[in-house]
């Protein structure tokens, strides 16, 4: 049974930092691409960052230079380091995994497994 469990969300002021973690279990973690998505109230879920099984990375333009995605294959953990946070980064953040599709497109439909989400709130 595939399980993705996010942690690390919280409330910070603009300019602050947070690190999200996603613990994965129940599948061949190292062979899947992974990603972080977010969804703000009344908005569609959008891709934030993704990382391939070979650890290539891709970022949404809105977070380039501020967020860093990484993965620990030995411990099956995905990370998202978020710096210089802005109020518009406020959203529920989801960890996701997939295989067999173009992971670099950051499309929701290309990811098969999802966590329950962790809330990030950035105040001005």
Q: Return the pLDDT at 51.
A: 97
**Span 58-73, mean pLDDT?**
97
Q: What is the mean pLDDT of the chain?
A: 96
pLDDT at 119 over 90: yes
Residue range 66-109, pLDDT digits in tens: 999 999 999 999 999 999 999 999 999 999 999 989 999 999 99
Q: How far apart are CA 117 and CA 30, in angstroms?
A: 21
Q: Return the pLDDT at 20.
A: 98
- Per DSSP, the three-state class of 59 is strand
Instruction: Classify residue 112 as exposed, middle or buried by CB count within 10 Å of its CB (0-12, 13-18, 19+).
Output: middle
pLDDT at 61 over 90: yes
Q: How far apart are CA 78 and CA 86, in angstroms?
A: 22
Q: How far apart are CA 72 and CA 78, in angstroms?
A: 6
> How far apart, in Å, are the Cα atoms of 50 and each of 2, 20, 69, 95, 98?
19, 14, 7, 10, 10
């Amino acid at each position: 049974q595939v399980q993705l469990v996010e942690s690390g969300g919280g409330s910070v002021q603009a300019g602050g930092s947070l690190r999200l973690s996603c613990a994965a279990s129940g599948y061949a973690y190292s062979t899947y691409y992974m990603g972080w998505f977010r969804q703000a109230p009344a908005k569609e879920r959008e891709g934030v960052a993704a990382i391939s099984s070979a650890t290539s990375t891709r970022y949404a333009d809105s977070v380039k230079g501020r967020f860093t995605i990484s993965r620990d294959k030995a411990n099956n953990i995905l990370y998202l380091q978020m710096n210089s946070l802005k109020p518009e980064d406020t959203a529920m953040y989801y960890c996701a995994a997939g295989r067999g599709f173009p992971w670099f497109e950051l499309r929701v439909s290309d990811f098969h497994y999802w966590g329950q989400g962790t809330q990030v709130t950035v105040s001005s």
